[in-house]
Amino acid sequence: MKGSDKESTKNEDQEREAAATASQAEALEAKNFCTADSHFALEAEGTHGLEEQVMATLYLESCQAHSVVPASRLLCQGSASELSLRHRGLGPQGVRALASTLTSNLYIKRLDLRDNGLCGAGAEALADVLCKNSVISDVDLSENQIGAAGLRALCTALALNPAVQKMQLGGNGLEEKAAQHLASLLLLHTGLRSLDLSYNQLNDLAGEILGPALAENTGLTELNLSWNHLRGPGAVAFAKGLEANIFLKVLDISHNGFGDSGASAIGEALKANNVLEELNMRNNRISMAGALRLGLGLQVNQTLRFLIDIQVNRECDDLANSVNTILPGLCIKNNISRRKDWPSASTPSQTASAPSASGLSSMPL
């Protein structure tokens, strides 16, 4: 009996010891949530110096404070100039955790946070970063549903920071309330070169607000407003802004609703504008009459090099050929299916009826 009791006691002691060891391991793992990853990051990036080590440690501590999982890519960032964290589900808290690192980072020039559920709160947190960081020049915040409130914070920050030259804000649920903030940005931020506002809900009223701002903007060379709702008076007002603009070189207004009145206004704008080089107007509900009015502007304009549209019949094809006779350097991209009874292009230089690689469908402008 004594031997059996001793063996039982021994087993119980071993079980208690094993449980204590496991408990200590769990406690140590929790305690070293930051330092374990920090040591790994420092070993991997130790050659980058003390500054990168300190930044990695600060980021891990910030993640712990905001109860978010650290982004391993940032821990291995070192002195790389681009940080891509798209589709990571960061949310507002994740951006707040990034803020301290991004504010003091002297290397990151391009920041990609596409599709991270930032919403307005996350955009506001990032705006605080952009107010203080003078290195980041290219920011992608597409598909984050930042809304008007988030946009307001970003525009205020950008007005104070001329370093940002490219901003992508596609797919963010921006409506007419956001147009006034965008107009202010175009008037105040002369360092911004490229702005992407595609896949939003900017309507005709937004066009009426953005048009005058575009006319006064001094700096923007590329603007993407595709897949919005610029129609009627808004489309006409925007076209008048283009007429007065002297900096924009690339404009994408495809998949809106410019219609014949908008096409006519663009045609008038092209008569006066001597800077624009590339224009995308496909899928804008433009009939033959509107296309003809647009063509009148093309016949006068001397700077446009690429026009992306969709032709629908022989009359459109003849119009394109006549424009190319006047402007042999102009490339009109389309995907028309030439009928057998149509004559071939009169000169080899005419590219109007050459199918493009973009795969545009045969439907009205």
Assign residue 211 the CATH number of its domain. 3.80.10.10
pLDDT of 316 strictly over 80: no
Three-state SS for the chain is CHHHHHHHHHHHHHHHHHHHHHHHHHHHHHHCHHHHHHHHHHHHCHHHCHHHHHHHHHHHHHHHHCCCCCCHHHHCCCCCCEEECCCCCCHHHHHHHHHHHHHHCCCCCEEECCCCCCHHHHHHHHHHHHHHCCCCCEEECCCCCCHHHHHHHHHHHHHHCCCCCEEECCCCCCCHHHHHHHHHHHHHCCCCCEEECCCCCCCHHHHHHHHHHHHHCCCCCEEECCCCCCEHHHHHHHHHHHHHCCCCCEEECCCCECHHHHHHHHHHHHHHCCCCCEEECCCCCCCHHHHHHHHHHHHHCCCCCEEECCCCCHHHHHHHHHHHHHCCCCEEEECCCCCCCCCCCCCCCCCCCCECCCCCCCCCC
Q: What is the pLDDT of residue 190?
A: 85
d(CA 192, CA 224): 13
- Residue 60 is encoded by which pair of tokens? 């891990």
pLDDT recorded at residue 43: 43
- Give the pLDDT confidence score for residue 142 in this predicted structure: 98
Q: Which phi and psi angles does 134 have, rounded to 5°?
A: -110, 15
pLDDT score of 201 more than 90: yes
Residue 334, beta-bridge partner list: 355
**Does the pLDDT value for residue 42 go beyond 60?**
no
Is residue 361 in some structural domain?
no
Q: Is the pTM of this model over 0.85?
A: no
Does residue 86 lie within any of the structural domains? Answer: yes
Given a cut of 80, is residue 2 above it in pLDDT?
no
pLDDT of residue 16: 53
* Residue 232 pLDDT > 90: yes
Other C-beta atoms lying within 10 Å of the C-beta of residue 209:
22
8 A C-beta contact, residue 152 and residue 122: no
Q: Which domain holds residue 205?
A: 78-333
Q: In the chain, pLDDT over 70 holds for what percent of residues?
A: 72
Position 55 scores a pLDDT of 80
User: 264-268 — which CB contacts under 8 Å span 24+ positions?
Assistant: 264/290, 264/293, 264/294, 265/235, 265/236, 265/239, 265/240, 266/239, 266/242, 266/294, 266/297, 267/293, 267/294, 267/295, 267/296, 267/297, 267/298, 268/239, 268/243, 268/297
In a domain, 11, yes or no: no
pLDDT score, position 338: 35
- With tokens 């005058």, the residue in question is 212
Q: Tell me if 23 is assigned to some domain.
A: no
Summarised one tens digit per residue, pLDDT across range 52-109 is 777 888 899 999 999 999 988 888 887 899 999 999 999 999 999 999 889 988 899 9
Return the higher-pLDDT residue of 1 and 283: 283
Does some domain include residue 29? no
Looking at residue 54, its pLDDT comes to 79
Model pLDDT, residue 30: 33
Examine residue 202 and state whether it is found in any structural domain, yes or no.
yes
* pLDDT attached to residue 207: 97
Q: CB burial class (10 A; 0-12, 13-18, 19+) of residue 72?
A: exposed
φ/ψ of residue 39, rounded to 5: -60, -40
Q: Report the C-alpha gap between 182 and 188 in whole angstroms.
A: 10
For residue 37, being part of any structural domain is answered with no
Domains in the chain, number? 1
Q: Which of 5-14, 57-66, 217-226 has the lowest mean pLDDT?
A: 5-14
Beta carbons within 8 Å of 303's beta carbon, 6+ residues apart:
273, 274, 275, 276, 277
Query: Do residues 203 and 229 lie in contact, with contact meaning Cβ atoms separated by under 8 Å?
Result: yes
Q: Please, what is the average pLDDT of the chain?
A: 81
Tokens of 176: 């007419």
Q: Which of 211, 219, 114 is nearest to 171 (CA)?
A: 114
CA dist 287 and 27 (Å) reads 72
- Compute the radius of gyration of the chain from its Cα atoms: 29
Would you state the pLDDT for residue 187? 94
- Tell me whether residue 106 is in a domain: yes
